[in-house]
Amino acid sequence: MAKARQECGGAGILEAELTCPICLELYREPMALSCGHSFCRLCIEEALYSQAVWTCPTCMADLGVTLELHNNFKLRNIVEAFKAIASKAPRKAITSTARRESLQQDEGSEKGKTDVVPCEQCLDEPQPAVKACLICEVSLCQAHLSKHNARDFHQEHILVEVGAGKEEERRCRDHGKLLECYCVREKKCICVLCSMAGAHKGHEVITMKEGHDKELVKLSSIMTDLQESKSDLVTALEELQEGENQIKNNTKTLTSDLKKLFRSIKAELGKKQTMILSDIRSYEEADLAVVTKARKEMEQKRDLAEQNLRALQMLKEQPDIFLFFRDLKVVTDRIASLDLVAEDVKVEAMQLNDRLMTQYETQKKKFLLQLDYLLDDLRGEQPRPSPADTMGNRTPIFGSSFRQGIKIA
């Protein structure tokens, strides 16, 4: 009983080792990753298909940018042997839970060395194969590869890396023969029968080696042209970068210069405003002085007129006729000597009439037009007619017509 239990336990452990960690079934077409873990071919392809970065489902090791899947022939043979033994000797089945528990115990641990393809020529202990001959359809270790290459009739055989793609990809789908020739017209690898009796009959057909050499020459020419184009593009990009830098530097300098220019214009306009407002105040003071002087003279004449009116009123009321005539001559002579005429004083206010405002607006537009010409010169554009040709005789912005002073008639 104990022996049977031990055999059952050993079979269970072996089955757990031969179980795919993804589907939890015995391996079907086991494939080995670069990290050493194996999976069913369909399981690992489906698992890696949805991954942006390929990692091993068991140890999460990075598999790199180029996925390498190798047929695990040794593991496949063990699985087949296990199935054969299991079919002949019935045993107690192991539940999925037991399988999963066994797999979980080994999860994350490295189990053995990376499996390799065995040499098919070794009789005793197979050595790792280093090359595969497509003509002989056999994998060879280093020792048997040397013997293989030593034979003259093997010199034209095609040797590839072990596990370098599926073998059916290297065979003709129509004839099942090895693809040994190259159709120059179709640029396609073909078999011998295709060139003799197939769809490529009558085409220019050469060996794959010759085709490879020719295509390498073409590729070298294409690479030379691409390298020249790349060099030209690099030079053009450098020139564009220099142009971009120059534009930015010129814009920076131009912006600084224009800011200085407009600050200078604002400063000059400020000075001109201060000067004109000062002149207006001076005109005001001078005109007010004339008005004040005229007012004082007229007030004096008014007072004299009022004084003589009182004297005449007193003379008019004089009851003594002698005294009346005595004072009459004195008063009338004094009045006759006085200048009591009210002078006509006309005050015209300072103002900007419509004509002057139109002139000032014209001058402003011409000034702004001059700034536009300055910008055109900076851009290097075709010059427009000079502002001097369109302005004619300039009217001073603040001419003599600005002030209409006080006129005393």
What is the spatial distance between Cα 119 and Cα 128, in angstroms, rounded to a whole number? 6
172 has pLDDT over 50: yes
Minimum mean pLDDT range among 77-81, 203-207, 220-224, 380-384: 380-384
Query: Which range has the top average pLDDT, 232-241, 273-282, 325-334?
Result: 232-241
Mean pLDDT of 249-269: 91
Residue 149's pLDDT is what? 84
Cα dihedral 136, 139, 142, 143, rounded to 10, equals -60
Minimum mean pLDDT range among 29-43, 138-152, 173-187, 334-348: 334-348
Residue 228 has phi, psi (to 5 degrees) of -65, -45
Q: What is the pTM of this model?
A: 0.39
Residue 50's pLDDT is what? 65
Contacts of 4 (CB under 8 A, 6+ apart): none
Minimum mean pLDDT range among 110-114, 151-155, 274-278, 370-374: 110-114
Residues belonging to the chain = 409
400 has pLDDT over 50: no
213 has pLDDT over 80: yes
Residue 401's pLDDT is what? 39
249 has pLDDT over 90: yes
Residue 6's pLDDT is what? 43
Residue 10's pLDDT is what? 53
Whole-number percent of the chain with pLDDT over 70: 77
116 has pLDDT over 70: yes
Residue 296 gets the label, from left (phi > 0), alpha (psi -120 to 50) or beta, of alpha
What's the mean pLDDT when you consider all of the chain? 78
Residue 345's pLDDT is what? 67
Q: Is 378 or 258 the better-scoring residue by pLDDT?
A: 258
Sign of CA dihedral 336, 338, 339, 341: negative
137 has pLDDT over 50: yes
Q: Is 345 or 263 the better-scoring residue by pLDDT?
A: 263
pLDDT-derived band at 155 (thresholds 50, 70, 90) equals: confident
Residue 371's pLDDT is what? 78
Structural domains in the chain, sorted by start: 2-106 (3.30.40.10), 238-342 (no CATH), 344-409 (no CATH)
Q: Is 126 or 87 the better-scoring residue by pLDDT?
A: 126
Q: Is 86 or 397 the better-scoring residue by pLDDT?
A: 86
9 has pLDDT over 60: no
What is the spatial distance between Cα 6 and Cα 32, in angstroms, rounded to a whole number? 30
What DSSP string runs through 158-212? -EEETT-S-GGGGB-TTT--B--EEETTTTEEE-HHHHHTSTTTTS-EEEHHHHH
> Running DSSP on this structure, what letter comes out for residue 61?
-
Mean pLDDT of 18-44: 87
What DSSP string runs through 114-153? PP-PBPSS-SSSPPBP-EEETTTTEEE-HHHHHHHHHSGG
Mean pLDDT of 97-105: 43
Residue 383's pLDDT is what? 52
Minimum mean pLDDT range among 5-14, 195-204, 343-352, 358-367: 5-14
Task: Please report which helix (H) or strand (E) contains residue 17, including its range.
Answer: helix 2-17
What is the spatial distance between Cα 134 and Cα 160, in angstroms, rounded to a whole number? 7
What is the spatial distance between Cα 274 and Cα 276, in angstroms, rounded to a whole number? 6
What is the spatial distance between Cα 356 and Cα 397, in angstroms, rounded to a whole number? 9
Whole-number percent of the chain with pLDDT over 90: 19
Minimum mean pLDDT range among 13-22, 24-33, 221-230: 13-22
387 has pLDDT over 60: no
230 has pLDDT over 90: yes
Residue 350's pLDDT is what? 65
332 has pLDDT over 60: yes
What is the spatial distance between Cα 31 and Cα 163, in angstroms, rounded to a whole number? 11
What is the spatial distance between Cα 361 and Cα 369, in angstroms, rounded to a whole number? 12
Task: Please report which helix (H) or strand (E) contains residue 263, including its range.
Answer: helix 208-316
What is the spatial distance between Cα 399 and Cα 172, in angstroms, rounded to a whole number? 103
Mean pLDDT of 162-188: 81
Count Cα atoms within 13 angstroms, Cβ side, for 22.
Answer: 20
Helix axes 321-337, 208-316, angle to 10 degrees: 160
Over its C-alpha atoms, the chain yields an Rg (Å, rounded) of: 59
